C-alpha cells in the first residue's frame, strides 16, 4: 500500500518537526516539508488519531503534549554491537511478520527491524499489540540458532531475563517475570514477547523475536493492566539508547542460550518469577491445573505442586 504508507510517513515527518518545548507554526512546517497548510492540519489530525497528544493553539501552532525522543536510525546504528544490521521503519504492519518474510528469503542473523508504529502489531494467542507512536518500543530480532527447533525450549524465558536485566540497568525496580514470557512491574504488564520460528525438527532453527515495551503511558494502553517504564524511573528516557541497551542485553543472553540452552539462565529467571511459591491456576492445553508454582526446570517447563503431585506445564497461561 505505497500511497497509504506515504501518507503515514508524511504524518511522521510532521511529528518530527514538533517538540514539547516550543510551538511550531503550521506555516513553518508546511514550508519545511513542502506541503500545504491544509495537509499539515490533516497530518496532525492523523497522528492524533493514533494517540499522539498534540496541543494546537490558533496563532501559535502545534506542540507535543509530552517530550518524545523519536527513533533515529543513525543513533541506533551507533549503539549496535558488531554483526548487527538495523532497519528502522516509520510505519510497518508488524515487525514480526515483516522479518519472518525476510528471514524466509535469507535475511542475515542478527537483523533488527524496528518501527515507530505498527498498523497490525500482533501479540500472543491472536491478540493485537497496540502502541502509540513514540510511546513504546516495537521491534523484532532475527536469530539463526546453532540448534534445532526441538532445542529452543525456554527461549521465551531467556528473552524475558534479557529484557528484565536491561530494564533494571535503567534504574527500574520491581521488574518481574510471568511464565512463559511477560515482563511485569507491580503486577501490570510492561513488555510482551512474541517468538515465531522457522525450520524443521532437524536443521538449525531460525527465530524472530518480537518485543513490545511500554515506555510512556498512552491512551491506547488499557490502564489497569499495563504499566510504562516512565512510571518506574525518575529520568528522561532516550528510546534510542533504551533500544540499543535492550539489544546488547539480548545479544549476551541469546549467545549463552545458543551455546548452553536455558539451564544457566534458570536462576536469573526464577529470582524474578512473580508467582514463585504462590497458588496459581494454569490454563493449559489439557485443561486447568491448580496448585503452588514451584518454578521452572532446566528446560523452562513450569512445575506446579498439585494435590495429585507435581505436574509439569509446557504451554499455557498462568493466573493467580
User: Which of these segments, 103-111, 117-125, 144-152, 276-284, binds ligand BTN (CB under 6 A)?
Assistant: 117-125
- Cα 159 from Cα 317, distance rounded (Å): 17
Nearer to ligand BTN, 11 or 118 (CB): 118
Among 176, 212, 261, 300, binds ligand BTN (CB under 6 A): 212
Judged by CB under 6 A, which stretch of 147-155, 188-196, 215-223, 268-276 contacts ligand BTN?
A: 188-196
DSSP string, 116-157: EEESS-B-GGG-B----TTTEEEEEEEEEEEEEGGG-TTHHH
- Candidates 124, 147, 252, 281; binder of ligand BTN (CB under 6 A) is 124
Q: Is 192 in the site for ligand BTN (CB under 6 A)?
A: yes
Q: Which is nearer to ligand BTN, 96 or 249 (CB)?
A: 96
Q: Which residue is nearest to ligand BTN (CB)?
A: 192
Task: For residue 179, give every residue at least 6 positions away whose Cβ sits within 8 Å of its Cβ, in sequence order, or none.
Answer: 157, 273, 275, 293, 296, 302, 318
Report the SS3 class of residue 253.
Answer: helix
CA distance 178 to 252: 21
Q: Judged by CB under 6 A, does residue 18 bind ligand BTN?
A: no
Toward ligand BTN, which CB reaches closer, 11 or 95? 95
C-alpha triplet 115, 80, 182: angle, nearest 5°: 55
Selected range binding ligand BTN among 56-64, 192-200, 268-276, 309-317, rule: CB under 6 A: 192-200
Give the C-alpha separation, 188 to 186, whole Å: 6
How far apart CA 114 and CA 176 sit, in angstroms, is: 25
287-296/279-284 β-pairing: antiparallel
Binding mask 72-111 for ligand BTN (x = CB under 6 A): ----------------------xxx---------------
Q: Mask: binding to ligand BTN, 233-272, rule CB under 6 A, as x and -? A: ----------------------------------------
What is the nearest approach in angstroms of ligand BTN to the Cβ of residue 194? 4
Long-range CB pairs of 233-239, under 8 A, 24+ apart, other chains included: 233/170, 233/171, 233/172, 234/171, 235/170, 235/171, 236/67, 236/69, 237/69, 237/170, 238/69, 239/69, 239/70, 239/71, 239/134, 239/137, 239/215
**Residues in contact with ligand BTN, total (CB under 6 A)?**
20
85-92 and 61-64 beta bridge pairing: unpaired
The nearer residue to ligand BTN, 211 or 294, going by C-beta atoms, is 211
Q: Of the ranges 9-17, 78-86, 153-161, 210-218, which one interacts with ligand BTN (CB under 6 A)?
A: 210-218
By beta-carbon proximity to ligand BTN, the closer residue of 55 and 127 is 127
Q: Binding ligand BTN by CB under 6 A: which of 140, 206, 214, 244? A: 140
Amino acid at each position: 500500500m505505497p500511497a497509504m504508507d506515504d501518507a503515514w510517513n508524511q504524518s511522521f515527518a510532521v511529528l518530527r518537526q514538533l517538540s514539547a518545548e516550543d510551538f511550531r507554526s503550521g506555516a513553518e512546517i508546511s514550508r519545511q516539508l513542502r506541503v500545504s497548510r491544509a495537509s499539515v492540519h490533516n497530518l496532525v489530525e492523523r497522528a492524533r488519531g493514533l494517540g499522539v497528544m498534540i496541543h494546537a493553539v490558533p496563532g501559535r501552532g502545534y506542540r507535543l503534549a509530552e517530550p518524545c525522543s523519536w527513533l533515529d536510525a543513525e543513533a541506533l546504528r551507533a549503539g549496535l554491537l558488531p554483526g548487527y544490521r538495523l532497519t528502522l521503519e516509520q510505519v510497518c504492519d508488524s515487525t514480526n511478520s515483516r522479518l519472518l518474510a525476510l528471514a524466509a528469503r535469507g535475511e542475515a542473523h542478527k537483523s533488527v527491524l524496528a518501527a515507530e508504529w505498527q498498523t497490525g502489531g500482533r501479540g500472543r494467542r491472536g491478540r493485537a499489540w497496540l502502541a502509540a507512536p513514540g510511546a513504546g518500543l516495537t521491534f523484532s530480532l532475527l536469530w539463526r540458532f546453532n540448534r534445532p527447533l526441538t532445542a529452543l525450549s525456554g527461549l521465551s524465558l531467556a528473552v524475558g531475563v534479557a529484557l528484565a536485566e536491561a530494564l533494571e540497568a535503567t534504574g527500574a525496580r520491581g521488574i518481574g517475570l510471568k511464565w512463559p514470557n511477560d515482563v511485569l512491574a507491580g503486577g501490570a504488564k510492561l513488555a510482551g514477547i512474541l517468538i515465531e520460528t522457522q525450520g524443521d525438527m532437524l536443521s538449525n532453527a531460525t527465530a524472530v523475536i518480537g518485543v513490545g515495551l511500554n515506555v510512556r503511558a498512552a491512551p491506547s494502553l488499557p490502564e489497569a493492566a499495563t504499566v510504562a517504564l516512565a512510571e518506574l524511573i525518575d529520568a528522561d528516557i532516550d528510546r534510542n539508547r533504551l533500544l540499543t541497551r535492550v539489544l546488547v542485553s539480548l545479544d549476551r543472553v541469546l549467545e549463552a542460550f545458543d551455546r548452553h540452552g536455558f539451564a544457566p539462565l534458570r536462576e536469573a529467571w526464577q529470582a524474578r518469577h512473580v508467582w514463585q511459591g504462590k497458588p496459581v491456576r494454569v490454563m493449559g492445553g489439557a485443561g486447568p491445573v491448580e496448585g503452588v508454582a514451584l518454578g521452572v526446570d532446566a528446560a523452562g517447563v513450569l512445575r506446579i505442586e498439585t494435590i495429585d503431585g507435581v505436574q509439569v506445564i509446557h504451554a499455557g497461561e498462568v493466573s493467580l
